[in-house]
Structure 1
Amino acid sequence: MKSFTLAAALSLLTANQEIGIDERVEAILQKLTLEEKVGQMTQVTLDVLTKGPNVFASDEPLVLDPQQLDIAFAKYKVGSVLNTANNRARTVDVWNEIIGQIQQKAIQETGIPIIYGIDAIHGVTYTAGATFFPQQIGIAATWDTAFARKGSEITAYETRASAIPWNFSPLLDVARDPRWPRMWETYGEDVYLVAKMGEASIKGYEGPDNDLSSPKAVASTIKHFPAYGAERSGKDRTPTWFSEVQFREYFLDGYKVAIQAGAHSIMINSGVINGLPVHANPRLLTKLLREELGFKGVIVTDWADIENIHNRDKAASSHKEAVKLAINAGIDMSMVPYNFNFCDHLIALVKEGEVSMARIDDAVRRILRLKVELGLFEKPMPAKTDYPEFASAQAQQEAFNAAAESITLLKNKDNFLPLKPGNKLLVTGPNAHSMRTLNGGWSYSWQGEKVYEFSSAYHTIYDAIRLENGEANTTYVAGVSYKDDGDWYEEHQIDIDAAVTAAQGVDAVILCLGENSYTESVGNFNDLYISENQEKLALALIATGKPIVLVLNEGRPRLIRRFEAGMQAVIQAYLPGNYGGDALSAILFGQINPSGKLPYSYPKYPNALITYDYKPSEVQTVMDGVYNYQNSVEFQYPFGHGLSYTEFVYSSLTLDRKTIAPDEDFTVNVTVTNTGGRAGKEVVQLYTSDEYATITPDNKRLRGFEKIELQPGESRQVIFKLNGKDLSFVDYELHRITEEGKFIVTIGDESQTINVTKTKIFDTYNRIF
């Protein structure tokens, strides 16, 4: 047993209340051996510590293995554990029991509590009974940062109730390619929207003052730094190639704002940027992240990504070499996760002089500081009585509200919606009667395939419509259903004729299409069109002549051009969580007025995947009959689009000045009026366009947004305060610059021009690539 016990550690923390955190951390650090320091830098998954056939699987019911605990804590002094076992959710009681036993062993052997981490991305992913919110793409669709903050606040509370103080969220990657399978984990395609949502989420997780000693706060983790999701192929964890101008202009600000918001840790991009694995790139991890952006927290790898430098990316000749590259690049903690080779290699590298003790101390100092700030030395485990509001009625209502405000009405021909209860309805499609599709991945299990074991208390889309419309008036026929025990994209039990027959006797059809749950590389595909079977179902139902409401329940925008024209209405539900069926039903029947807006551009064609802020040259016009390019910008639905059951009119857009200096403040005012017959919420979106610039300017850029609620006939003035720097961009010389010239400010269909009198450089960046 280690002589440096928990009592000794606690005495260092409490003997002198004048001692600050840094001094406390330093006192502990100086007591540790090299082996103990390396152990603090090591993170293993829970399956490694349990009884089972191997380190990849555990027996059920879950039991810790004393021999494995000895290896992890007595021999290797491991400082962190993550994940669940057997890819399965656990109850709060089980989590507290298991983590309590791990803490007891770790403290007994090392004197230092472990820090337990989990991916709780839309609620506590692996805790049974937790409150599940919409996935991040749905939160973004609310265009209301209050939902990002409140959802994260409730998730933090319920994560702490599970005895877990460290959350690997929020994901602040910018999803500018709809093919990417992790698009639904993001806040969309625009870096400004991502930054605002991410900032609110971090304050929700960590509290307004980032006080991690609060029993209601968790340490948040920005992921995945930097520019994850920019893969050229559109497939997960494939290479990224781009210029530094593009990198800084569209991908970096979300992380930067999150760092300024006080996030305590950051997870690294699993991929390769411009030929070099990010985990082995000191320019990105040290020069950019530490020095330029000033990040002071813990840098943790993603799953097995130090091994991947050698095994997958072939950028190191051995695992030991990969460890050397990653630690010297700036990694603090390795998410190993299945073995202890990292420890052996790193100890050897330090003894051989290949990794300095100063680099080790730097990493361990940050890890210890995080543990001290979380209060783990004083209270390594919560009291069971500390969390009486776990999955409370209020938390569930917040999740329902978020789902309701995320759901986006994309089309409503002849005001077909809302429906009146009592009409004969057919509810059909593979997503019509599935809790798995409503929640998506990271829901009770990694891929979301175990959702049925935990979701019997919630309503599918069909359940919710039946409850509102009546059993006798509501028919369900799948038409097409997913093969839930196979790959996410597999479909079986295809009986389109049965759906067509059922449609003959109804007034309208609710057609629920989209995707089954998936995440990460499992969701890679080769065809952005919605599946062939679902398209056949849609076309067959259109041929019946019945009015159809298309409900899309998908993690990314699957192409629907071939049948969209035959739909009377189209609704995007995204992945709304356990209360998504209820929220959708309330919108269909008019109890709630839809207010969601698209956080991405919904493409119409597979070779036209541009974003809303496209460049002028991406639009070609016919010139003297010479050119006949199919290059017009044609979205199925544009970024920021979303309809309501009422009408909003914009008027009187004014600027408090027509001319400004490049660093001068200015105010934009616009009047919004609800001219319809019912109350509604509207997202007021402010865009700017640079008429001419030294780098070809974007079509437009989002610079502000605010969600407001108006009663029928009510008008409100909405005010945005901007600065000339908000009109800036990154130029070819890596300057953050606002240039002299004209800029167009647009809100709705109103616009005004503002003139900048001269050019100003605000920042000059060091080249990273």
Structure 2
Amino acid sequence: MRNLITVLLLFLSVVGFAQNRKAYNEIDKKIDKLLSEMTIQEKVGQMTQIAVEILLKKPGSLTEPDELDPEKLAQCIKKYKVGSILNIGITAQTRENWHKWIETIQDMALKERVKIPVLYGIDAIHGNNYTANSVLFPQQIAQAASFNRALVKKAAEITAYETRASFIPWTFSPVLDLGRKPIWSRVYETFGEDPYLVSELGKAMVTGYQGSSSSIDKYHVAACLKHYMGYSMSLTGLDRTPAWIPERELREYFLPSFAAAIAIGAKTVMVNSGEINGVPVHTNKYILTDVLKKELKFKGFALTDWMDIQFLVDRHHVAKDYKEATMMAINAGIDMSMVPVDYTFCDDLVALVNEGKVSMSRIDDAVRRILRVKFDVGLFDNPVGKASDYKEFNGVAHNKTNYEITSECITLLKNTNNLLPLKTDKKILVTGPAANSMVALNGGWSRRWQGTNSDETEKDKNTIYEAIQNVFGSKNVDFAQGAKFNAPSDLNTALSKSEKADVVVLCLGEDSYAETPGNIQDLTLPAAQLELARALKASGKPIVLVLTEGRPRIISAIEPLCSAVIHAYLPGNEGGNVVANVLAGKVNPSGKLPYTYPRYPNYLFNYYRKYTEEVDNSYNPQWEFGYGLSYTTFKYSNLKLSSKVLTEGQPITVSVDITNTGNQMGKESVLLFVSDLVASITPEAKRLRAFEKISLEPGKTQTVTFKITGEQLSFVDATLKRVTEPGEFVVTVGDQKATFNYR
């Protein structure tokens, strides 16, 4: 029977491959036909992406819905033959207005001679955040804390569904940069600091967005990997500033997450806006063509970020004018330019082709890649959607999943004398700038780029204060702001009310921001918030610190003053409800830190530090990557290796028993680290090589099994080859350790 099943599966896989091959051959023929019929203007138009702002009747207007200007749209589509549009205007649109926009755009495009639909893209990064009333999930950094591939995939599936419900087939997500620089303003858009975690959750998110087929149905969208690559590692930590990254480091830490997502069929890539080793990535043919398209065999297209070809002139100063910048970028391997507010790119690129400075073969390659994606997302068959196909938009099931993933993100970092969970009869003062703010829960990219209007757009959702009232009863809960994010406010009221409370829930963190406006000069939490914590401590009441922040702000001055610390990251629309239920014990926290939480502003380490960084106990973070407490306890035991010797082609099986030794059900992320004791490139103290999330009832034991291969232990050596060197390794799971040798 087993042999019969194997034969059947093999037959079905061969048939499926043949069908896909046939479909691809048919699409190739259609693309060839289109290319043979297109003028240079039409081809360059396909390589052009314009922002919808310049197509509106009242650009920058706060009026919703915004309206498209027919004359401006005609210039875009009829004159310049533009093939892609992005963005939202100033604020999130209703689904109805999205439908009207997309239908109007596609109607005009399909009346053109070659009848190629427009590819619309949007930053749907934690839900379809630019459509009114869509589900807003936790930001990526919070999802990373769940260490749960299945939930990350499910959130992406719902995001894809709700994005396609607006007739939009393309999202500029996921971010696969490493969140290695805590001060960087885009840490919250990442899956954290570890290359393996980013790779695994990145694959889950891409699969959720695109589905498992090479073609994308009406409930899925094309993914866009951001920001290829090394974007997050600027020397200053400030957004879009220069990075110096040796190629060995690029390949060891920054390339794997992109390579993993490309290997499973990610359709598009957005390029790093910055420069590496003095060369803007948009002009780096080695990175864009040799590595991305040849080495990784990427079949999709590479897109610039906002105005990045023009910035080669205005910021980087490597080109004398926009025309030269266009030549440099396209010849390096850029396929589509997010121009996005004029048509200089079109004029310049047509001229460059006519002058022989950009070859027709380069143009055809770019257009072929773009058309392929348009076919893959089904635009040629269904350029617009059908509203009735999306009845689950913002429905009960989608919001339930949002609550579930948020529940697994929240990370308990401190719980002195088991202060938490709180009894429901406790008198609680809720205070702090993040206590009564939906802005603080959602952060940037929430209805607007900077996320500044969540208190209005999400007013039907619960802030932390409102949710605590619902759970503990309004008679038991009082509120005082106590401080603003960056300035004193209402401190005396907070102190007065704290005297009547049994416990203070202090909600501190960051106001919303995105990209460069989020640059800061000091990673320490602002002085007004620290002052509030110090003042409240004088009341003698226990303090529960709740952090809502997009990056780990330094709190070492006030952490000793707090009896408990909850890290909520940027948890989205269900964040208030989940935090309240964590306080009440209705949710048992299971999140673990996806980054190292620093103790001092100038002592910034990643957990995969080198051994030299441990000298004189210099490695001393506030909390380490992978740290997180629970209301129950877990015991690790019986770590076993199937062999003490690992050889190529013969993996080792690692098993460990985890027992819930507490009195309630809990979830645990089981993290497997491996340490290479001696290597030709100085090895890290340890690296995450596997993880699994489990759920255990009290008193129950589960055996978790991992496999370790030689490839998993490999590193990039001095010759830029990925190798696994013979020697001794230590595997660590929880408090259990074992050694083995690779031969």
Q: TM-score, normalised by structure 1?
A: 0.92
The residue aligned with 1:83 is 87
Task: Give 1:236-275 correspondences, 5 Å limit.
Answer: 236-275=239-278
Q: Which amino acid aligns with 2:186?
A: R
Task: For 1:712 and 1:605, locate their aligned partners in 2 and report how far apart those are by CA, in whole Å.
Answer: 38
CA contact (8 A) 1:663 1:725 kept: no
1:179 aligns with 2:221: no
The percentage of aligned residue pairs carrying the same residue is: 50
1:608-653 residue CA offsets vs partner (Å, 9 max, x unmatched):
10100100111223xxxxxxxxx52111011000000000000000
The residue aligned with 1:3 is none
**Superposed displacement of residue 59, structure 1:** 6.1
Task: Give 1:287-686 correspondences, 5 Å limit.
Answer: 287-482=290-485, 490-491=486-487, 494-621=489-616, 632-686=618-672
1:189-218 residue CA offsets vs partner (Å, 9 max, x unmatched):
000000000000011000022421x11110
- Partner-residue secondary structure (3-state), 1:650: strand
> Which of 43, 50, 55 in structure 2 is aligned with 1:44?
50
1:138 aligns with 2:142: yes
Task: For 1:269 and 1:35, locate their aligned partners in 2 and report how far apart those are by CA, in whole Å.
Answer: 27
CA contact (8 A) 1:549 1:571 kept: yes
Call closer, same or farther: CA 1:18–1:653 in 2, change over 3 Å.
Answer: closer
CA contact (8 A) 2:129 2:135 kept: no
Relative to structure 2, which stretch is displaced further, 703-712 or 662-671?
A: 662-671
Task: Give 1:16-165 correspondences, 5 Å limit.
Answer: 20-52=26-58, 61-86=65-90, 88-110=91-113, 111-165=115-169
**Superposed displacement of residue 453, structure 1:** 2.7
1:146-167 residue CA offsets vs partner (Å, 9 max, x unmatched):
1110000000000000010011
Call closer, same or farther: CA 1:19–1:251 in 2, change over 3 Å.
Answer: closer
The residue aligned with 2:692 is 706
Task: For 1:18 and 1:522, locate their aligned partners in 2 and report how far apart those are by CA, in whole Å.
Answer: 44
Q: Which amino acid aligns with 1:100?
A: E
- Partner-residue secondary structure (3-state), 1:251: helix
1:191 aligns with 2:195: yes
Q: Which amino acid aligns with 1:424?
A: K
**Superposed displacement of residue 662, structure 1:** 4.0
CA contact (8 A) 1:138 1:407 kept: yes
Task: For 2:25 and 2:406, locate their aligned partners in 1 and report how far apart those are by CA, in whole Å.
Answer: 46
**Superposed displacement of residue 19, structure 1:** 6.0
The residue aligned with 2:19 is none
- Partner-residue secondary structure (3-state), 1:716: strand
Task: For 2:187 and 2:519, locate their aligned partners in 1 and report how far apart those are by CA, in whole Å.
Answer: 11
The residue aligned with 1:720 is 706
Task: For 2:377 and 2:521, locate their aligned partners in 1 and report how far apart those are by CA, in whole Å.
Answer: 44
CA contact (8 A) 1:435 1:459 kept: yes
- Partner-residue secondary structure (3-state), 1:20: helix
Task: For 1:560 and 1:17, locate their aligned partners in 2 and report how far apart those are by CA, in whole Å.
Answer: 56
1:694 aligns with 2:698: no
CA contact (8 A) 1:47 1:57 kept: no
CA contact (8 A) 2:45 2:83 kept: yes
1:4-62 residue CA offsets vs partner (Å, 9 max, x unmatched):
xxxxxxxxxxxx9996111111111111100010011111011111112x6x6686542
CA contact (8 A) 1:47 1:58 kept: no
Call closer, same or farther: CA 1:230–1:663 in 2, change over 3 Å.
Answer: farther
Q: Which amino acid aligns with 2:674?
A: T
> Which of 697, 701, 719 in structure 2 is aligned with 1:733?
719
**Superposed displacement of residue 592, structure 1:** 1.1
Task: For 1:634 and 1:144, locate their aligned partners in 2 and report how far apart those are by CA, in whole Å.
Answer: 27
CA contact (8 A) 1:50 1:59 kept: no
Q: Which amino acid aligns with 2:658?
A: V
- Partner-residue secondary structure (3-state), 2:188: helix
Call closer, same or farther: CA 1:480–1:230 in 2, change over 3 Å.
Answer: same
Relative to structure 2, which stretch is displaced further, 722-731 or 271-280?
A: 722-731
Task: For 2:711 and 2:261, locate their aligned partners in 1 and report how far apart those are by CA, in whole Å.
Answer: 19
1:206-243 residue CA offsets vs partner (Å, 9 max, x unmatched):
0022421x111101111100111011101110000021
The residue aligned with 2:14 is none
The residue aligned with 2:208 is 204
CA contact (8 A) 1:51 1:58 kept: no
- Partner-residue secondary structure (3-state), 1:619: helix
CA contact (8 A) 1:662 1:739 kept: no
- Partner-residue secondary structure (3-state), 2:110: helix
Task: For 2:81 and 2:698, locate their aligned partners in 1 and report how far apart those are by CA, in whole Å.
Answer: 65
- Partner-residue secondary structure (3-state), 1:718: strand
Task: For 2:379 and 2:299, locate their aligned partners in 1 and report how far apart those are by CA, in whole Å.
Answer: 20
CA contact (8 A) 2:184 2:239 kept: yes
Task: For 1:593 and 1:564, locate their aligned partners in 2 and report how far apart those are by CA, in whole Å.
Answer: 22
CA contact (8 A) 2:672 2:689 kept: yes
The residue aligned with 2:229 is 226
CA contact (8 A) 1:116 1:165 kept: yes
**Superposed displacement of residue 376, structure 1:** 1.1
Q: Which amino acid aligns with 2:347?
A: D
1:513-556 residue CA offsets vs partner (Å, 9 max, x unmatched):
00011010110010000000000000001111100000000000
In structure 1, runs of 5+ residues without a counterpart are: 1-15, 483-489, 622-630, 758-769
CA contact (8 A) 2:55 2:68 kept: yes
Q: TM-score, normalised by structure 2?
A: 0.96
Task: For 1:310 and 1:253, locate their aligned partners in 2 and report how far apart those are by CA, in whole Å.
Answer: 31
Call closer, same or farther: CA 1:18–1:269 in 2, change over 3 Å.
Answer: closer
CA contact (8 A) 1:662 1:738 kept: no
- Partner-residue secondary structure (3-state), 1:227: coil
Q: Which amino acid aligns with 1:495?
A: D
Q: Which amino acid aligns with 1:504?
A: E
Q: Which amino acid aligns with 1:311?
A: D
The residue aligned with 1:751 is 737
Q: Which amino acid aligns with 1:166?
A: W
Q: Which amino acid aligns with 1:309?
A: L
- Partner-residue secondary structure (3-state), 1:402: helix
Task: For 2:442 and 2:563, locate their aligned partners in 1 and report how far apart those are by CA, in whole Å.
Answer: 26
Task: For 2:326 and 2:428, locate their aligned partners in 1 and report how far apart those are by CA, in whole Å.
Answer: 60
Q: Which amino acid aligns with 1:639?
A: F
Q: Which amino acid aligns with 1:200?
A: A
1:340-390 residue CA offsets vs partner (Å, 9 max, x unmatched):
000000000000000001100111111111111222112110011111111
